[in-house]
Chain A
Amino acid sequence: MTAILDRLRATGDGGAPPPIRSVRVRRWTVVAVVAALLVAVPVVVAAWPVSPAVSVSPAELRDRVAASGNLPWSGYAEASGGLNLPDVAQFSDVTTLLSGTSRLRGWYAAPDRVRVDQLYPAGERSRYTTSTGQVVWDYGAQLLTYVRRDPLVRLPRPDDLLPPQLARRLLSGTLPDDPVTGLPARRVAGVDAAGFRVTVADPRTTVGALDVWADPTDGLPVAVELHTKGATGTLSAGPVVVTRFLDLDRETPDPSLFVAQPTPGVGVTRSPTSDLFGVLGRGSPDSVPAVVDGVARVAPQRGFAAIGKYGTTLSQLIVVPLPADIAGSLLGNIGDAGSAGRTIAVAAPQNALGRTANASAGALESSLLRLAVLRVGTRAWAIGGLVTDDVLDRAVTDIAADSAGAS
């Protein structure tokens, strides 16, 4: 090596050494060329033309994505949310998830054989989905929790942000009539992915468009971007949620990866549910109204009768009863949230005895997700969804009115 470098001292006329100045220039040129080559490698790789293996129409690709639930994969993805939600103690996991970047490792063999690790600089939270339930490992708490069941309607979790999960979940909320257009292909985690955009026509939802890039051969989503829309229906300039694979392996993962192995000495416990809605939703089915904002309630899931789900599209509203003390704390937090918090005027309803109950309501605002808290006397509810302010306000009014009739 040193001999090669030394040979760069070229001989001049008659074997006399060249002026040191020219040697210096030549050697610094070598440095510059090597540096330029090293810097150019990632640039060239990124700029290499993308050519999807097969050509499919956007509508066909959408159908393939929707039917990709049984495709195995493993990989690493990063998901970024730009909702800038304030940190509200009771929902800190959700606000953090949608307001920052999540680093996710996933292994997927089938819908009931999934493992997702959320990586932290010096820790990890893992969730194993099996046919009999879920197992959650929290390095921070040094606790392994065997979870029996979470409700279908639940708070967002990190594993929801993996591209395949997010794409299928959001696409299931769009309508067949929503326009689908093609997007330029992208190379994502080594996959030359074809893209399509579904523009959401429903004026009740804040979701404006859903951009999905997927492997055109089988429809596995590799990147998803979510755009909101304004009051006039114009799309946001940039996506508010972005998730994409950075590493992807299409082989079926090793089965041993789907088994949580408790280390002796760590805490092990069991829980009927790992979701806040799973706890709040165990009350009476009459805890929430039959109709909200003109939308009838979808039949509740067995075991979670108190969770109200209104609609099946992206504009669906979720209503869950809250303990009054938690509602009071939440309303206080919303009041402290500055521009992200909003007070909703709600008419105090009269009960059957003609008495007027105290009523207050507030909402946590973001461009995508909206969450309201309503308290009427000793009863309270949380109302949330990817819906506009109008829808949320009408829902709050309806529930307040219904509470008067029910009490």
Chain B
Amino acid sequence: MMVVELRKLFRRPRTWVTIGLLCLLPAIVAVFLATTRIAPAPGEGAAFLSAVLESGSLYPAAALALVLPIFLPVAVAVVAGDTVAGESGAGTLRYLLVRPVSRTKLLLAKLVSIVAFVVATVAAVAGTSYVVGVTLFGAGDPVAVVNAIPQISGPGGGGSSSGGSGGGSASTPSAGGSASAADPAAPAPAAPGAPTAGAGADNGAPALDPTQARERAADSVASLSGDPLSPMDLALRLLGAMAYITVSMLGVGAIALFLSTVTASSLGATLGALAALISSQVLVTLDAAASVTPYLPTRYWLAWIDFFRDPIFLRDIRSGLFVQAAYVVILMLAAWANFTTKDVAQ
């Protein structure tokens, strides 16, 4: 049953058109950024958009921030709202139910197809935006970054390559040194062992031109807390963020799926789910509604950004998972109670 539903979902051209459109928006934004080199100020605009000019490897995070508030939930609501109501509207639901499969299984298969759609969409947006980001903005080279750290923050370094921090560059070596001296027990960022480790990792690295190394080091990625993120660390955090965003969309999917069992109009189910989301978004920003805010489906949507703090801030992520799980459980049970006892005429 699940295979049938998945095949049905991914054989529909509109599924791929939807995913394509979701991938298109970040690509358009990337083209404008790469062409004009005008990024929003850090902390303004979509999350991480300010940092992508320095490293394209962070662009998947920026792309997810672009599609998360509106486009992704709309797409999920459209697909989920169509699951049962679409069959009903097209007159195929009664033929579907003639098959020797329980309605409960059918409902679960519909839920699995929604999850598959969300996973595919998030992966497609992240994947295409990574390719677009690295192509247009370049990516940091981890070995070059490690090798360049002593040249930037250690004694004898030529200062930061960042033109904007020219005033502070001369003091950087001693500043880095004083930070290390302040805490001898803690691992120092510019540890003398770093170049050795870097040289051991890549035989070609020692021959790297210092200026070139500094330029490539400027492409490295800082977490929101300022610490450098290694490519592996960044990849793991991106995967965590993608998984969290996928879970965040399940609440929307469950609302739309439940409404889809109530009405024969897929448009009505979709709009109902969107109305619920908009109401939630309005209440989240309202201080007077603080007592119900923690239980709203969109309250913790932005917690995926907390994957990029150091250490990762798990509090809101944990709460978000609980809230989404509660919505999925309640609404799927409601969908089950309604759909399995419904008189299907179409």
Contact = CB atoms under 8 A, between A and B. Distances in A.
A binds B: yes
Interface of A: 1-2, 5-6, 9, 20, 23-24, 27-28, 30-31, 34-35, 38-39, 42, 76, 105, 113, 117, 119-124, 126, 130-133, 135, 137, 139-146, 246-247, 255-270
Contact of B315 (A117, A145, A247): A247
Contact of B309 (A20, A124, A257): A124
Pairs of residues from A and B, 10 with the lowest C-beta to C-beta distance, nearest first = A269-B168, A267-B165, A264-B217, A27-B337, A140-B43, A122-B47, A263-B222, A137-B226, A265-B218, A123-B43
Nearest to B330: A35
Given A267-B168, A268-B169, A269-B171, A123 B42 contact: yes
Contacts of A140: 41-44
Interface stretch (B70-78, B183-191, B200-208, B275-283): B183-191
A131 B182 contact: yes
B42 A139 contact: yes
B10 interface: no
Nearest to A130: B182
Chain B interface size, as a band, is 35 or more
Contacts of A265: 54, 160-162, 217-220, 222
Given A2-B104, A38-B326, A31 B334 contact: yes
Nearest to A107: B311
Interface stretch (B27-35, B115-123, B147-155): B147-155
B183 A130 contact: yes
B102 interface: yes
B218 A126 contact: no
B224 A256 contact: no
Interface stretch (B81-89, B173-181, B245-253): B173-181
A142 B186 contact: no
Contact of B43 (A6, A139, A258, A260): A139
A126 B226 CA distance: 8
Interface of B: 41-44, 46-48, 54, 65, 102, 104-105, 108, 145, 148-149, 152-153, 160-162, 164-165, 167-169, 171-172, 174-176, 178-183, 185-189, 214, 217-229, 294-295, 302, 305, 309, 311, 313, 315, 326, 329-330, 333-334, 336-337, 340-341, 343
A261 B227 contact: yes
Contacts of A28: 334, 337
Contacts of A27: 336-337, 340-341
9 contacts: A5-B336, A23-B341, A31-B337, A122-B47, A132-B178, A139-B224, A140-B42, A146-B179, A262-B189
B186 A122 contact: no
Contacts of A34: 329-330, 333
Contacts of B334: 28, 31
A123 B224 contact: yes
A262 B190 CA distance: 9
A143 B167 CA distance: 12
B179 A2 contact: no
B315 A246 contact: yes
Contacts of A123: 42-43, 224
Given A126-B226, A137-B225, 19 more contacts: A2-B102, A31-B333, A31-B337, A119-B309, A121-B47, A122-B302, A139-B224, A140-B42, A146-B171, A255-B185, A259-B183, A263-B227, A263-B228, A264-B145, A265-B54, A266-B162, A268-B169, A269-B167, A269-B175
A270 B160 CA distance: 13
A269 B225 contact: no
A265 B336 CA distance: 54
A280 B91 CA distance: 78
The secondary-structure label for the interface of chain A is mixed
Contacts of B47: 121-122
Contact of A146 (B178, B226, B330): B178
Given A6-B102, A105-B313, A31 B330 contact: yes
Contacts of B43: 120, 122-123, 139-140
Contacts of A124: 224-226, 309
Contacts of B294: 42
Nearest to B145: A264
Contacts of A2: 102, 104-105, 108
B104 A261 contact: no
A265 to B, nearest CB: 4
B337 to A, nearest CB: 4
A268 B172 contact: yes
Nearest to B213: A264
Contacts of A130: 179, 182-183
Contacts of A257: 311
A139 B226 contact: yes
A264 B150 CA distance: 10
A262 B153 contact: yes
B218 A264 contact: yes
Given A2-B108, A34-B333, A259-B189, A269 B313 contact: no
A258 to B, nearest CB: 6
Nearest to B65: A122
Contacts of B224: 122-124, 139
Contacts of A255: 183, 185-186
A43 to B, nearest CB: 11
A9 B336 CA distance: 12
B309 A263 contact: no
Contacts of A146: 171, 175, 178-179
A257 B311 CA distance: 8
Given A34-B330, A38-B330, A268 B160 contact: yes
Given A143-B165, A146-B179, A256-B187, A264 B305 contact: no
B38 to A, nearest CB: 16
A340 B42 CA distance: 32
B48 A122 contact: yes
A145 B178 CA distance: 12
B2 to A, nearest CB: 11
A105 B315 CA distance: 11
Given A135-B179, A267-B160, A142 B222 contact: yes
B336 A263 contact: no
A131 B172 CA distance: 19
A244 to B, nearest CB: 14
